[in-house]
Amino acid sequence: MKKLIIASTSTLHGGSYLEYILPTLKLHFENCQEIIFIPYARPGGITHDEYTQKVAETFKTINISVKGLHEFDNPIEALEKAQGIFTGGGNTFLLVKQLHEKNIMDVLKKVVENGTPYLGSSAGSNITGISMQTTNDMPIVYPPSFKTLGLIPFNLNPHYLDADLQSKHMGETRETRIKEFHAFNDIPVLGLREGSWLEVTGETIILKGNLTARWFTANNEAVELETETVIG
């Protein structure tokens, strides 16, 4: 049975890394002494080792050790044996490129579907959807496919921002970009605001956190979903 926490972000303004969601993660990974961290998204170009160390310091506070997937000679075997898995944020294009090129996208999907607890934040959440096409990230590399894990039956837009009517910014809003996506695709999209996450147990998907989320479907007006809504 699938067990996922799909978070919009790793860090809230004024907080430390994963601080706002640590009580939830302690329960989520309660049967794990060690988790595998996938550092491929590399926010700001941070190294795999630096990123893994940052994650390890946080998980140490809930008595869980962390090992980076890049440290294993056989990443497929590492994922198959993992007690738990966390994929961090950064650039989704880079993350997806690495997962496809290392032939571990399908392996990751399989082990999570078989019950290995999974945590994603930002880019690591983007990949739980059907495709990565609603990411906010720059296409700094060219992945062989936009296809992702398909662990949930829709796409995500993490860090979703509402239009600021007082702003002088003249670029596209997030809602405009999602409408552009729906001009060519009919996959639903969930705009997940900072501090919100999805809790997935089997096929049940529940919105968590204190904020509403925004649900977009092709040819329809967007809908606000209240926290604790079952989605799907």
Assess whether 186 carries a catalytic annotation: no
Q: What is the DSSP string of the chain?
A: --EEEEES-S--TTS-TTGGGHHHHHHHTTT-SEEEEE-TT-GGG--HHHHHHHHHHHHHTTT-EEEEGGG-S-HHHHHHH-S-EEE--S-HHHHHHHHHHTT-HHHHHHHHHTT--EEEETHHHHTTSSBSTT--S---S--S--B---SSSSEEEET-----TT----S--HHHHHHHHHTT----EEEE-TT-EEEEETTEEEEESSS-EEEE-TTS--EEE-TT-EE-
Q: Per-domain residue ranges for the chain?
A: 3-159+192-211
- DSSP secondary structure letters along 106-124: HHHHHHHHTT--EEEETHH
The total of other beta-carbon atoms located within 10 Å of residue 176's CB is: 11
Enter the tokens of residue 83: 């007690």
Residue of 10, 70, 121, 137 marked catalytic: 137
pLDDT value at residue 176: 93
Half-sphere exposure for 111 (CA within 13 Å, toward CB): 21
pTM of the model: 0.95
Q: What CATH number should be reported for the domain whose range is 3-159+192-211?
A: 3.40.50.880
- Say what the alpha-carbon torsion angle 23, 149, 104, 27 is, to the nearest 10 degrees: 10
Is 137 labeled as catalytic in the residue annotation? yes
Catalytic residue among 121, 122, 125, 131: 122
At residue 172, the pLDDT reads: 75
38 CB neighbour count, 10 Å cutoff = 30
Q: Any catalytic annotation for residue 159?
A: yes
pLDDT at residue number 166: 62
Query: Phi then psi for 46, rounded to 5 degrees?
Result: -55, 145
pLDDT-flagged residues of the chain (< 70)? 163-171
pLDDT at position 169 is 57
Distance CA 182, CA 189 (A): 9
* CA dist., res. 77 & res. 210, Å (int): 38
214: left (phi over 0), alpha (psi -120 to 50) or beta: beta
Which tokens in the block code for residue 199?
């809790």
Quote the pLDDT of residue 162. Answer: 82
